Amino acid sequence: MNILLHRQALPEIWHEQRAAKWRKFLKMTTGWMFFICCLLGPDLLPAQSLKDLLAQLPQANPELRALYLDYQAALAVAPQVSQLPDPELKLGWYTLSPETRLGPQRLWWILNQKLPWPGKLKAQEELALTRATPLLEKVAVRQLLL
């Protein structure tokens, strides 16, 4: 029975010893890597220039990107408001069909298209574009603040 317990405990001891050796190896290796990076760091890892960082700043800024997407959404409204409204088709039927000179009427239909006043669609498009202009100015101001 003691031999059986000893055989079961052996793998646990072996795993603990192996884990301790591995931790010691990692500590030593990490220390040497840190030492080498401190000595050779500027040569191994070249720093980015300030011009490169400033060029990447507008693309990496989420607030600036959100403002620009708001501007794009406002621009997308202009073609939508300058279109004619959708035509309407109405269908109906009579529960008690009226009798006319052409015979009994069973159903009716109406096709309707609303036409705006001349120049109204163009004015709505210009208004939508005018409303988008301040958003572009917000983008420019935020970009200058960066």
| CA–centroid distance for 64 within its chain | 13
Nearest to 78 by CA among 116, 133, 117, 115: 133
Structural domain boundaries in the chain: 1-47, 48-83+108-146
Could you give the CA distance from residue 64 to residue 139 in angstroms, rounded to a whole number? 6
Token readout for 34 is 């840190």
- Contact present, 44 and 51 (Cβ < 8 Å): no
pTM above 0.75, yes or no: no
pLDDT tens for 74-107 read 999 999 999 999 999 999 988 888 888 888 888 8
- Contact present, 97 and 106 (Cβ < 8 Å): yes
